[in-house]
A and B are shown apart, each in its own frame.
Chain A
Amino acid sequence: MTRHLLDIDHVSKHFGGNVAVSDACFSVEEKQIFGLIGPNGAGKTTLFNCITGYFPLTSGQIVFNGSRINNRRPDEICRLGMARTWQRVKPLCNLTVLENVMVGAFATTNATRTAETMARQQLQAVGLVEYADKPAGSLPIGLKKKLELARVMATRPKMLLLDEICGGLNHTETASILDIIRTLRNGGMTIVFIEHDMKAVTSICDRIVVLNSGEKLAEGTPEQITSNPDVIAAYLGGGHHAQD
């Protein structure tokens, strides 16, 4: 019996007259890898910012693990067990790689030594041990993305929201990140995944929601989504022109 870990219930977000997310509804089940896709400006990142408490909702509600989390602060949401990464990575540049991950680990402990042990385990998991004492700002982008993963994993989340974790990476780097995500899934992690790379999304996701201009266009398994004519039209731009 699977249960819903995250419920997005008629969520809308307006910026003045600009409707970024309109009446979005979907649910993420426990241990699912859930893809959130859509063209540029579809409202994917805005929805992430709403879920993680950075933007107040215009209407609707969000329930995570049985409690309403809209109107909660980002740090409270993190401590409830929802962790996120950033599309544009946000390393704590002047701290070392190890210290970055320790900051994450302090979410579940007050002891510096415990935090360090936990951080080293996470660095091991993503393969960054040899960079532990380097300043985070000096890492190349591929390793910064891994650092983001290690850092949020150190907060011991129940659910991960990954915002284009493969964005800007080459094939080898993408493959290596997807390997880490598969390992996390095998460990029972629930993951919501924003991605542009359709191959990455279809190869890894159990279920996909497509957003277009802030509205939910389609929802289904990867096979259903890739054969859906509306989705193809949205990605190629202007459906009936393509048909004509």
Chain B
Amino acid sequence: MKQTLISAVLLIMAVVLPLLVGENPYLIGILISVLMMATLSSAWNIVGGYAGQYSFGHAAYFGAGAYTTMIMLSVFNTNPLIGMAAGIAVACLIALITGSIVFRLRGHYFALASIAVAEIVRLTVLNLGFTGGAQGILLTDVAFFGLDMNSKNPFYYGMLFSLALTLAITAYIHKSKTGYYLQAIREDQDAAASLGINLSFYKNKALMISAALTSVVGSIYAVYIRFIDTTAVLDLRMSIEIILTAIIGGVGTLWGPVLGAVLLVPLAEALRSNLLGSVMFKYGIVSETSPVGIFLKDGLAHAHVLVYGIITVLCILYLPKGILGFFRRGK
């Protein structure tokens, strides 16, 4: 009951947020990135957090959504929703093939195999003609029920919808037989099998749901950016970012991945745009020409990936159950 109320309040806040931000495309862009990473990480959480199967290849499903949608739009000129549906089908197919092969493996071997499958998908797309190869696919114009697709707002609400959908599905799974079975598989696969749980069926089910939701985000992202190539949507870095967000927020919890995205995406953006340095220069705390100023401007801004990495390592060392897990230690 309390959780439903909190969810409702958060949803209303998220719906009105663009009105408060107004016509600031930069801020809306960051909010879209937050929602996108929150959804991806929550979708990964179903198979990674609940079933404990650490997939390092979720970029494949994101890419499946993005590429299928872009090909449907640029070649067949369909409605983006049809592209999205086709993307879900392709992602589920890849998930089913992947799952039936790699779910025979456990632990580290499963993680390695999931990377291998994602790399196979990436290299295949890179070398095929109709996927645009290394050039990628560019979309010049898109129509969607008369909405202004040059504004960022439709994409904000699209991402918000996919996040709400993903969380609703996760909450439903959490309370159902499937949720209990996935957690049993995470805790001990032999014990789970001895209690009548069909391991490969439930692992594949979790992966299919996760892949479908991930591909939805890929579809929205592709139409939003209107340009995709393998580096943008199929890179291993993407898969790892999804996992880190979930781990830092708290795996196996409903809100953990969302929390991770809310903290990490703006942090990465602040580091990238040298927010700390600009504020200090603006208020004259540090002079731009002083050694500290030069470090902030040239050193820190360029080393944002390093800082991001250090924060991740600290979180893993000191908050192994994620931020949400840390505060729920008693439970």
Task: Flag A66-92 by CB within 8 Å of B: 1 or 0 each.
Answer: 000000011110110001101000111
Interfacial chain A residues near B190, Cβ < 8 Å: 54, 74, 86, 90
Question: Within residues 154 to 210 of chain B, which ones have a CB less than 8 A from any CB in chain A?
Answer: 175-177, 180-181, 183-184, 187-188, 190-199
Quick check: A103 and B176 within 8 Å, CB to CB? no
Contacts A/B (CB < 8 Å), 11 sampled = A74-B193, A75-B194, A78-B196, A83-B194, A84-B194, A90-B194, A91-B188, A92-B184, A99-B180, A104-B195, A112-B177
Quick check: A95 and B177 within 8 Å, CB to CB? no
In chain A, what residue has the closest Cβ to B198? Answer: A75
CA distance in complex: A165, B24 (Å): 66
Quick check: B183 and A92 within 8 Å, CB to CB? yes
Interfacial chain A residues near B198, Cβ < 8 Å: 73, 75-76
* Cβ of A159 under 8 Å from chain B: no
Minimum CB–CB distance for A126 against chain B, Å: 16
Quick check: A75 and B199 within 8 Å, CB to CB? yes
CA distance in complex: A102, B199 (Å): 17
The prevalent SS among residues of B at the interface is helix
Top 8 closest pairs, chain A to chain B, by CB: A92-B187, A90-B191, A107-B196, A78-B196, A74-B193, A103-B184, A90-B188, A79-B196
Interfacial chain B residues near A106, Cβ < 8 Å: 177, 180-181, 196
Interfacial chain A residues near B193, Cβ < 8 Å: 53-54, 73-75, 78
Quick check: B191 and A92 within 8 Å, CB to CB? yes
* Cβ of A183 under 8 Å from chain B: no
Quick check: A93 and B176 within 8 Å, CB to CB? no
* Cβ of A62 under 8 Å from chain B: no
CA distance in complex: A170, B271 (Å): 59
* Cβ of A155 under 8 Å from chain B: yes
Interfacial chain A residues near B197, Cβ < 8 Å: 75, 103
Quick check: A155 and B196 within 8 Å, CB to CB? yes
CA distance in complex: A223, B324 (Å): 60
Seed contacts A78-B194, A90-B194, A103-B183; 12 additional CB < 8 Å A-B pairs: A52-B194, A74-B193, A74-B194, A75-B194, A83-B194, A90-B188, A91-B187, A95-B184, A103-B195, A112-B180, A115-B177, A152-B194
Residues A102 and B180 in contact in the complex (CB < 8 Å), given A86-B191, A90-B190, A112-B175:
yes
Minimum CB–CB distance for A87 against chain B, Å: 12
Interfacial chain A residues near B196, Cβ < 8 Å: 75, 78-79, 104, 106-107, 155
CA distance in complex: A76, B195 (Å): 9
Interfacial chain A residues near B184, Cβ < 8 Å: 92, 95, 103
CA distance in complex: A104, B196 (Å): 8
CA distance in complex: A104, B190 (Å): 13
Minimum CB–CB distance for B212 against chain A, Å: 22
How many interface residues does B have (CB within 8 Å)?
20
**How many cross-chain pairs have Cβ atoms below 8 Å apart between A and B?**
80
* Cβ of A18 under 8 Å from chain B: no
Quick check: A103 and B175 within 8 Å, CB to CB? no
Interfacial chain B residues near A86, Cβ < 8 Å: 190-191, 194
Residues A93 and B195 in contact in the complex (CB < 8 Å), given A106-B181, A112-B177:
no
Minimum CB–CB distance for B235 against chain A, Å: 32
Question: Within residues 193 to 235 of chain B, which ones have a CB less than 8 A from any CB in chain A?
Answer: 193-199
Quick check: B187 and A110 within 8 Å, CB to CB? no
In chain A, what residue has the closest Cβ to B187? Answer: A92
* Cβ of A151 under 8 Å from chain B: yes
CA distance in complex: A18, B89 (Å): 48
* Cβ of A58 under 8 Å from chain B: no
CA distance in complex: A111, B194 (Å): 20
CA distance in complex: A78, B195 (Å): 6
Task: Flag A130-173 by CB within 8 Å of B: 1 or 0 each.
Answer: 00000000000000000000011001000000000000000000
CA distance in complex: A107, B195 (Å): 7
Quick check: B180 and A103 within 8 Å, CB to CB? yes
Interfacial chain B residues near A155, Cβ < 8 Å: 195-196
Interfacial chain A residues near B195, Cβ < 8 Å: 75, 78, 83, 103-104, 107, 151-152, 155
Minimum CB–CB distance for B170 against chain A, Å: 15
Interfacial chain B residues near A40, Cβ < 8 Å: none
Quick check: A93 and B187 within 8 Å, CB to CB? yes
* Cβ of A117 under 8 Å from chain B: no
Interfacial chain B residues near A53, Cβ < 8 Å: 193
CA distance in complex: A104, B188 (Å): 13
Quick check: B194 and A103 within 8 Å, CB to CB? no
Interfacial chain B residues near A99, Cβ < 8 Å: 180, 183
Interfacial chain B residues near A92, Cβ < 8 Å: 183-184, 187-188, 191-192
Interfacial chain A residues near B192, Cβ < 8 Å: 92, 103
CA distance in complex: A111, B180 (Å): 11
CA distance in complex: A84, B196 (Å): 11
Minimum CB–CB distance for B178 against chain A, Å: 9
Quick check: B177 and A110 within 8 Å, CB to CB? yes
CA distance in complex: A162, B240 (Å): 43
Quick check: A95 and B194 within 8 Å, CB to CB? no
* Cβ of A228 under 8 Å from chain B: no
Interfacial chain A residues near B175, Cβ < 8 Å: 112
Quick check: A112 and B176 within 8 Å, CB to CB? yes
* Cβ of A224 under 8 Å from chain B: no
Minimum CB–CB distance for A195 against chain B, Å: 19
Minimum CB–CB distance for A175 against chain B, Å: 26
